[in-house]
Amino acid sequence: MTASKTINGASSWTRYHLSTAAGMAFSSVINPANSNIVYIGGSTGMFKTTNAGSSWFNTTNGISDTIFDIAIDQSSTNTLYAATPDGIFKTTTGGTNWTNTGCAGARAVLIDPDNSNMIYAGTSSGVYSSAVGGGSWTSMSDGLNGSHVTSLGINPGVYLFAGTDDAAMFRRSLQVGVEEQHDGIASILLSAHPNPARSHTSFHYTTPILDHVQIALYDVQGRHVRTLVDAEHAAGTYCVSWNGMDANDRPVAAGIYLCRMTTDTEVNIQKIILVQ
């Protein structure tokens, strides 16, 4: 199994031989806290470099089948998930050892960026979710016409996307009951990323019709912190950022805050965790 690296925008590549056995590499992930640490998975196992590819070592350590996809926890980078036909494997030790959390037939794995305990798996029998960081998997395949899911994507707090091997793409609302509550009429949507946040976060929001939109932040006691948006919007999707400052441009304390999106007919609230 081999992998390649470029440092000049793909003008040239350096090839690394990871294994003497014949095989294919299917997935790679870079540690977001240290770009010298890279994981590559494929038909001959999991390999890792800690020096940007100068040397590689096998870190399969318990994974028993071909690795089709890898996901890394952005907030705890020693925690990774690997999708294999035998199930979703998990490590909390940067690959020193792996444990099978179940969900056989996996081809794709995704970590919700708003909640690192929420894991999604794409399998040969549909999409499954775990709210406990792997294990206790629950089917969420209602509406999928093709069951062989090969890829997953997410708009945090808004939609989960699933690609299938019959060249179809499906989406599922992550705001439970939104469509049903409004008799099938599209609803306002609001999500925050990153969440938890250190000093900056962005709010992504959607309004289905021409409407007046107000987005304001409050602390858990209900006291107003800052208004981010107060204007008429055409139907569409928008984004606004918050820099952790109050209405007087003073840094707010770490803690839980509520982002309230209000239109002429609806209200949507998103909880934000601000950390030091």
Q: ∠ CA 190-269-237 to the nearest 5 degrees?
A: 15
CATH class, 185-274 region: mainly beta
With contact defined as beta carbons under 8 Å apart, do 210 and 235 qualify? yes
Q: What is the pLDDT of residue 146?
A: 64
What are the φ and ψ backbone dihedral angles of 151, each rounded to 5 degrees?
-155, 150
**Strands 236-242 and 224-233, sheet pairing:** unpaired
**Is 118:79 a contact under the CB 8 Å cutoff?**
no
Question: In 3-state terms, what secondary structure has residue 32?
Answer: coil
What fold is seen in the domain 2-173?
Methylamine Dehydrogenase; Chain H (2.130.10)
**What ranges do the domains of the chain cover?**
2-173, 185-274
For residue 22, what pLDDT is reported? Answer: 66
- Shared fold status for 2-173 and 185-274: no
CB 273 within 8 A of CB 196: yes
- Tens-level pLDDT at each residue, the chain (276 residues): 888 888 887 788 888 888 777 688 999 999 999 999 999 999 999 999 999 999 999 999 999 899 999 999 998 999 999 999 999 999 999 999 999 999 999 999 999 988 899 999 999 999 999 999 999 999 988 877 667 899 999 887 778 888 888 767 888 877 644 443 333 444 678 888 888 888 889 999 988 888 899 999 998 778 899 999 999 999 888 999 999 999 999 999 988 898 989 988 788 888 888 887
